[in-house]
Amino acid sequence: MKCPFCNSAFKQSNIDGKVIDICTNCNGIWFDQNELQHYVNFIQKNIPFQNSSGKNNGKLITVNDLHESSLLCPCCGELLKKINYLYNSNIIVDRCSKCGGVWADKGESEKIAARSKAENQNELLGENLIKSLTKDFNRESNKQKRILAYRILSGTIFVSCLIYSAFSPDRTKILALTPSLILPITFIWFGDELGSLTGIRFGRIVGPVITQKTPGSFVRFGGWLMLLLLLWRNIL
C-alpha cells in the first residue's frame, strides 16, 4: 500500500498486538477498520498528554464546512470522505465508507486520544456528580421519612392521652398533663427549625444566649426524653 497523501511507502508498526501503517515520509497513519480506537486506547494508557483538555478552538466545523477529500483509500481505491471526529471535536480525518479505514494526518491521532481522554474524564466526573446527588437525595429522603415517623408516633401518643383522659378516673391529673406534652411534641415535630434558632436565651431575662445552631436530631432527642419522662411520672 501507498500513502494516500504523498504516495510514499508505509512502514508497519505493531502497537499492542495490532499492526498499523505509518507513512515513512509525512508520518500520517492509516488505520484499518477498528484499529483507530485500539491505537487511541494504547496512547491514553502509555503516553502522557501536555494538554488533554479536549476543548474546541473556534467555530464548530460542520459537514457543510468540509471540502471534499481528494485522497483515495490505499486498500480499496475508494474516494475518502472527510469527517469531524466525534462530530464536534474539530479534528478532521478521512474515512473510507467502503472498508471503514481511516486516514489521520500527522498528530491527528494524538489529538483524538487527548479528546477521547477528556471526554472520558468528563463522563467520569458526571457519573460521580450524579452518584453524589443521588446519595444526598436518598439521605435527605430517609431523614424526612424518619421525621414523619416521629411525628406520627408522638402525635399518636398525644391523642391517646386525650382519649385516655376521657375514660380515666383520675381525669383531672391527665388533663393537667396534656398542656405539658405540647413542648416536647413541638421539639419532636420541629427539631430542625428550632435547632436553627440563635440569639435567644434560655430564661426570660438572664441565662446563656444560644449563639450556635443545634442539630435537629439533638432537639428531637430532647423532645423524646421530656415526653417519656412526663409519661413515666404521670401515667406509667
Q: Is residue 1 part of a domain?
A: no
pTM above threshold 0.85: no
Lookup: cell for 23: 507513512
Q: What is the pLDDT of residues 198-228, one digit of tens each?
A: 776 655 555 566 777 888 888 889 989 988 8
Report how far residue 210's alpha carbon sits from residue 214's, in angstroms, rounded to the nearest whole number.
Answer: 9
Q: What is the pLDDT of residues 27-55, one digit of tens each?
A: 999 989 888 888 888 877 776 554 444 44
First to last CA, the chain: 96
Q: Do 16 and 116 belong to one domain?
A: yes
Is residue 13 within 8 A of residue 20, CB to CB? The reply is: yes
Q: Do 91 and 156 belong to one domain?
A: no
Is residue 125 within 8 A of residue 96, CB to CB? The reply is: no
Report how far residue 46's alpha carbon sits from residue 117's, in angstroms, rounded to the nearest whole number.
Answer: 12
Q: Do 31 and 118 belong to one domain?
A: yes
Q: Do 113 and 216 belong to one domain?
A: no
pLDDT over 90 percentage in the chain: 11
Q: Do 22 and 117 belong to one domain?
A: yes
Report how far residue 227's alpha carbon sits from residue 219's, in angstroms, rounded to the nearest whole number.
Answer: 12
Q: Is residue 5 part of a domain?
A: no
Is residue 32 within 8 A of residue 19, CB to CB? The reply is: no
Identify the domain boundary among 97, 123, 149. Answer: 123
Number of domain units in the chain: 2
What's residue 201's pLDDT? 64
pLDDT of 81 > 50? The answer is yes
Q: Is residue 152 part of a domain?
A: yes
Q: Do 84 and 176 belong to one domain?
A: no
What's residue 179's pLDDT? 75
The backbone torsions φ and ψ at residue 201, rounded to the nearest 5 degrees and listed phi first, read -105, 155
pLDDT of 113 > 80? The answer is no
42: containing domain: 10-123
Is residue 109 within 8 A of residue 40, CB to CB? The reply is: yes
Q: Is residue 58 part of a domain?
A: yes
What's residue 3's pLDDT? 92
Of 85 and 229, the one with more pLDDT: 229
Average pLDDT over residues 11-35: 89
Please return the burial class of 20, using the count of CB atoms within 10 Å of its CB with bins 0-12, 13-18 and 19+: buried
What's residue 24's pLDDT? 92
| CA-based nearest residue to 208, from 199, 216, 217 | 199
Confidence of residue 73 (pLDDT cuts 50, 70, 90): very high
Q: Do 20 and 116 belong to one domain?
A: yes
Report how far residue 156's alpha carbon sits from residue 177's, in angstroms, rounded to the nearest whole number.
Answer: 15
Helices (H), the chain: 35-46, 108-167, 171-189, 191-195, 216-234
